[in-house]
Structure 1
Amino acid sequence: MTAARIERLVTSGQFSLDGGTWDVDNNVWIVGDDHEAIVIDAAHDAQAIAEALGGRTLRAVVCTHAHNDHIDAAPELAARTGAPILLHPDDLPLWKQTHPDRMPDGELADGWVLAVAGVELTVLHTPGHAPGAVCLYAPALSAVFGGDTLFAGGPGATGRSYSDFPTLVDSIRDRLLTLPGDTVVHTGHGDTTTVAAEAPHLQEWIDRGF
């Protein structure tokens, strides 16, 4: 039996919302072993994600939120693998902007536990960047998969539709900064960070309205 591990794939594409479009690089996280895995945020390139999976069984395509750059490859990846797409229902309005004719297969809810390769990932509902945003906490891996809730250097963006800065700050304070300090935050874009690295800066972000 092989140990569960975390793999990162970076894919490139575009983020579009509120009439604007931006070029972005996204982190796609694969959690599993040599036999099975889950994909967190199927961004931009289903072919590249399928190649990274190899012959492993894909148990689920988990969406941290439904901005198009995190879900645009999800239906194709699900069709290729037969894996269900899971999304918090509060993000369905965003999902439908990208995939109006293809609903997710299942819902994510706070406290729900997803198991893969002997590891449990607990769903933490962390609204703010998006109403249905979630993080996935895997204590056995000392990891939390944060989507766009928290980055190295600050919280996710809240300047567009369906987002709210005070709600995001509450989510970060109450759900993420309460995790052990050595927990690695695997972000939706850019470099990883840790809870301990970000926790001292919470008040700065609040004061700046970051």
Structure 2
Amino acid sequence: MTYSGDVTHGGPPAVRELDGLTISKLSVGPMDNNAYLLRCAGTGDQVLIDAANEAPRLLELIGDGGLAAVVTTHQHMDHWVALEEVVAKTGARALVHADDAAGLPIEAERLADGDTVAVGDCALEVIHIKGHTPGSIALLYRDPNGTPHLWTGDSLFPGGVGNTDKDPQRFAALIDDVEHKLFDKLPDDTWFYPGHGKDSTLGAERPALPQWKARGW
């Protein structure tokens, strides 16, 4: 079945099989958050991006394969409601950018821009994206046999960047980082997976960048 990235709350995960990595996308409530389970094809190691909510459903998705780590993309509560329970029941490491660590309910290892998170034989590059929160991050997988894959949390969505509460300084920081760290450095076929809703590609969104800048959100 072709992966579309379309998921509904309460529905089954959407599963994408890459040569080295399997991506499972699940919608959890009540705010229709996306949680992503990544599994290395070679080793079976698994990493969860955002233990957002509904710990029982996330634990069912994780299954018996164990969990190496949970990466939280940013400190907003809707992205970590299930974090404490998932970590307690799997023994996974909790990872978050240093600037958002104080916002989590448990102690977590600090990440910084340029770090890597291992998913077995695969690696995720940590990209610090300021603006939505001080320590928001995106995670980049450079598929050696295909297009790049990018998890953007709430920093980038189809149709615009994340919420900055109409703060012009925060918006300027966010649009600048999104433009220069993502759009300027990654090709149009980069597929990105946001914290809520549908996926997109950088190429599909790139023509709208001037409009996003002009409108200020």
Same fold (TM over 0.5): yes
**Conserved in 2, the CA contact under 8 Å of 1:128 and 1:164?**
yes
CA distance, structure 1, for counterparts of residue 47 and residue 99 of structure 2: 22
Answering whether residue 82 of structure 2 is matched by residue 73 of structure 1, we say yes
Moved more, 26-35 or 146-155: 26-35
**Which one-letter code corresponds to 1:117 in the other structure?**
G
CA distance, structure 1, for counterparts of residue 100 and residue 21 of structure 2: 29
- Length-normalised TM-score, structure 2: 0.84
Structure 1 residue aligned with 2:65: 56
CA distance, structure 2, for counterparts of residue 188 and residue 160 of structure 1: 20
CA distance, structure 1, for counterparts of residue 64 and residue 102 of structure 2: 34
Of 2, 24, 35, 1:7 maps to 24
- Length-normalised TM-score, structure 1: 0.87
- Secondary structure of 1:91's match? helix
Structure 2 residue aligned with 1:149: 155
Q: How many residues align?
A: 192
Displacement of 1:152 after TM fit?
A: 0.7
| Aligned ranges 1:118-157 → 2 under 5 Å | 118-140=121-143, 142-157=148-163
Residue 78 and residue 138 in structure 1: after superposition, are their counterparts in 2 closer, same or farther (change >3 A)? same
| Aligned ranges 1:104-123 → 2 under 5 Å | 104=108, 106-123=109-126
Structure 2 residue aligned with 1:18: none
| Aligned ranges 1:194-205 → 2 under 5 Å | 194-205=201-212
CA distance, structure 2, for counterparts of residue 151 and residue 191 of structure 1: 8
Q: Which runs of 5+ in 1 are unaligned?
A: 14-23
Structure 2 residue aligned with 1:103: 107
Structure 2 residue aligned with 1:187: 194
- Secondary structure of 2:38's match? strand
Displacement of 1:160 after TM fit?
A: 7.3
Structure 1 residue aligned with 2:174: 168
Structure 2 residue aligned with 1:21: none
Displacement of 1:93 after TM fit?
A: 4.0
**Conserved in 2, the CA contact under 8 Å of 1:4 and 1:117?**
no
Moved more, 59-68 or 27-36: 27-36
- Secondary structure of 1:54's match? helix
- Secondary structure of 1:77's match? helix
Moved over 2 A (4+): 92-95
How big is each residue's C-alpha offset from its partner over 1:74-115, in whole Å with a ceiling of 9 and x where there is no partner?
A: 1110000000110111113433xxx2xx322x1111111112
How big is each residue's C-alpha offset from its partner over 1:125-155, in whole Å with a ceiling of 9 and x where there is no partner?
A: 0111110000000011620000001001111
**Conserved in 1, the CA contact under 8 Å of 2:40 and 2:122?**
no
**Conserved in 2, the CA contact under 8 Å of 1:186 and 1:192?**
yes
CA distance, structure 1, for counterparts of residue 125 and residue 20 of structure 2: 19
**Which one-letter code corresponds to 1:8 in the other structure?**
K
**Which one-letter code corresponds to 2:111 in the other structure?**
L
Q: Which runs of 5+ in 2 are unaligned?
A: 1-18
CA distance, structure 2, for counterparts of residue 36 and residue 92 of structure 1: 24
**Conserved in 2, the CA contact under 8 Å of 1:3 and 1:117?**
no
